[in-house]
Amino acid sequence: MPRPVLTHPVPVVTMSIWKRHYSIAELARHAAAKSPVTLMGTLEMRYEAIGEDYLVMSMPVSPRTHQPMGLLHGGASVALAEEVGSVAANLCLPRDKIALGQEINANHLRGVRSGRITATARPVHLGGRSQVWGIEIRDDDDALICISRLTIAVGPRPPTATDIFPFAGESASGEPL
């Protein structure tokens, strides 16, 4: 029996994974306050895009991120992967929870000497006590240079913890602006 032909469009339901909604400009503004003294600032990482289920960050490849043979250091790739995955993980949680990196692995697939690399984090698992994120890192030619998996522990936010990404209209301590 032939399959029926639909005569009306099928609605596509998309649902964002984010509990905190930010534009790229807002993420950059929040990070800029701390970035000069963090690894993110030192390695000149920046936010590039956010979608329904992904976050994208990039980083330049330069002598600052090279290993002695003039190639991108694997540790720099891992730092970018952990940054984008950790930020994404925290944006998926309500105010009373915190996401902390528990384990990360990476497979370095191709060397890079210059340009900019871009990391895209997407969730593999979003649970109440753990999250797993898959991160693909690509070069300027869109070639896959590294694939990483980040496991996150989810726990209660300590009362003294500063929230680098407060909800819109709140300060880092949760007070209204």
Which sequence positions are flagged as catalytic? 82
Tokens of 117: 């690399």
φ/ψ of residue 46, rounded to 5: -145, 155
75 burial class (0-12, 13-18, 19+ CB within 10 angstroms)?
A: exposed
**Segments of the chain assigned E as strands:** 46-50, 55-61, 97-108, 115-126, 130-138, 144-156
CA-to-CA distance for 114 and 84, rounded, in angstroms?
A: 20
Among residues 1, 114, 137, which one has the least CA distance to residue 57? 137
Give the Cα separation of 18 and 4 in Å (integer). 37
Rounded CA gap, 137 and 120, in Å?
Answer: 7
